[in-house]
Chain A
Amino acid sequence: MVDGELLEVLKGCEEVLRDRLSRSSSAESFLTDFKDLVESMLSARPTSSNSTEWSGEYYAAVVEELRALGLHRLHDVDTDFEEVTLQIIDAGSRRHLLPITIPRPGELRHLTVRMDLPGRTGPAKIPVSRTGGRLGLAEVVQAFEKTLEEFQPLWDQLDDLDVNTWIVEPDQPRRSHTYRRIALGNNLYLQIDIDPTSPLAPPAYKFLGADRAAAKCRETARKNIGAWDATNLLRKNIESLLEMTLPSRPMTDASQRSALGSHEMEGKECGICYSRQLPIDLGGDIDGEVNGSGAVPDQVCRNGSCGKLFHHRCLYEWLRSVPATRVVFGAWHGSCPYCSAVITTTKP
């Protein structure tokens, strides 16, 4: 370090330095003091004074914007202050998380916002030119809240289905998911895809499952579709359409859902292959629908204290490999691999 530089570092502490010099008992202790002083001055010195001052102001402004929004809306901030997650409660008391990437100082061109909304794919980039040089978080939240309003009718119907029926897919529905696969019992499923703009209208639907049963449902639905009442609950309309009450989620599964930690996942996995989604090379060779790859376990042991779940394909392959399994009118009757209770399945 050249003398000039050292002088620059020590500028302003000449007084302290003189004081230390007069108090030091030996040259060694003064040098130690001197070294400490230089080190503390160096660490306090901004590495690049210009940008630090500037980004300090910048981040103070960001914090101010967050404060103006109300800190109750702040859900999470990452340690590098690169992403803040806001939480917005909508009119239906549903909580929405809104992760926003904070641009680095000097790179403020647009905000990257990830919105979990129907029809959105990928994050949205909002140009900052529209927000007057600030991040414009308030404007983003306002726009998001307005969009939330549009989807209230959709989510009312979906929430009702999620609570009252047995949804097998999506496994953990997100707000952007507009489809549901509903278990009807006896290995039969109804898949609906709801139009977000008119959630009370008849949704696109198809039946998945054993041919004969699916055909019967299709027939019933065709007969009743004319009586669809777009002022009634979607669930009630589906029940009238199928002339049945939609079964609710089996108790065993529900209690496993509330269980904590990894046990929750364990309970949802197939008791044979130990996976949640059916491996690719096993499914999809027959009709690619119910037994397709990615299918979740939907066969459940009816013994209340067992309640193990299996993939349709895995259970069928297992029962088929056991000589004691009986086949009666296309239904395979055998015993649960876990509890030996009678379990029945069909050819997937």
Chain B
Amino acid sequence: MSNLSTKRLTKELAELQKKPPGGVTLESADNLSQWVVKVEGAKDTLYQNEVFWLRFTFPSNYPLESPEVVFVRNIPIHPHIYSNGHICLSILYDHWSPALTISSVCLSILSMLSSCTNKERPPDDSRYVAHAAKSPKQTNWAFHDDTV
């Protein structure tokens, strides 16, 4: 892992431990390349009282390249979240920017959950899950819905 990502991840880790955003808790960070973050469904949303875990895997050239972010253990039922944990969210792929942080990514995902009005799997879930690569970053995502 290069110095570029080490320094930055160390700072992000400290920040996340010191003042995590509401509903976000660092669950484990055994090393600087894979972290698990616990997110809690916001109050008065369809995910209230539900707890989910996001696994962040950082490439060696993070933050030039986006982290791989997937849900693990408990996968929320959401039109943009596949049952294998893959998340269809543009900032994780084409619209990634080094200005984004682990905190801001968690908040974006929480906001995606919060704005959901109908708990259901994506229409193409079974087809996608059957053919998807291990990492969602290898998927050619088409972002057709900017509202959620």
Contact = CB atoms under 8 A, between A and B. Distances in A.
Nearest to B4: A273
A274 B65 contact: no
Interface string A239-283: 000000000000000000000000000000001111100011110
A172 interface: no
Contacts of B98: 271-272, 314, 318, 337
B3 A279 contact: yes
Contacts of B65: 321
B64 A321 contact: yes
Interface residues of B, number: 15
Residue of B2, B61, B64 with most partner-chain A CB within 10 A: B64
A282 B61 CA distance: 11
Contacts of A159: none
Interface string B71-107: 0000000000000000000000000011100000000
Contacts of A81: none
A317 interface: yes
B8 A317 contact: no
Residue of B2, B4, B6 with most partner-chain A CB within 10 A: B4
A281 B99 contact: no
A275 B7 contact: yes
Interface in B41-91: 61, 63-65
A54 interface: no
B119 interface: no
Given A282-B2, A337-B97, A272 B7 contact: no
A70 B147 CA distance: 71
B64 A281 contact: no
B7 A279 contact: yes
Contacts of B12: 274
A214 to B, nearest CB: 26
Contacts, number: 42
Interface in B1-38: 2-4, 6-8, 11-12
Residue of B7, B61, B64, B98 with most partner-chain A CB within 10 A: B98
A338 interface: yes
A318 B100 CA distance: 13
A282 B3 contact: yes
Nearest to A322: B97
A291 to B, nearest CB: 13
Nearest to B8: A274
Contact of B8 (A273, A281, A318): A273
A274 B11 contact: yes
A272 B11 CA distance: 12
A314 B11 CA distance: 17
A314 B99 CA distance: 12
Contacts of A279: 2-4, 6-7
Contacts of B63: 272-273
A281 B2 contact: yes
Residue of A274, A314, A318 with most partner-chain B CB within 10 A: A274
Interface string A311-337: 000100110010000000000000001
B3 A317 contact: no
Contacts of B6: 279
A280 B3 contact: yes
B49 to A, nearest CB: 35
B4 A314 contact: yes
A275 B4 CA distance: 8
Nearest to A275: B7
A274 B7 contact: yes
A318 B61 CA distance: 10
A96 B3 CA distance: 37
Nearest to B100: A337
A317 B99 contact: no
A314 B7 CA distance: 13
Contacts of B61: 317
6 tightest A-B CB contacts, nearest first = A279-B3, A274-B8, A338-B99, A337-B97, A272-B98, A337-B99
Given A271-B99, A275-B7, A281-B3, 10 more contacts: A272-B64, A274-B7, A274-B11, A274-B12, A279-B2, A279-B4, A280-B3, A282-B4, A314-B4, A338-B97
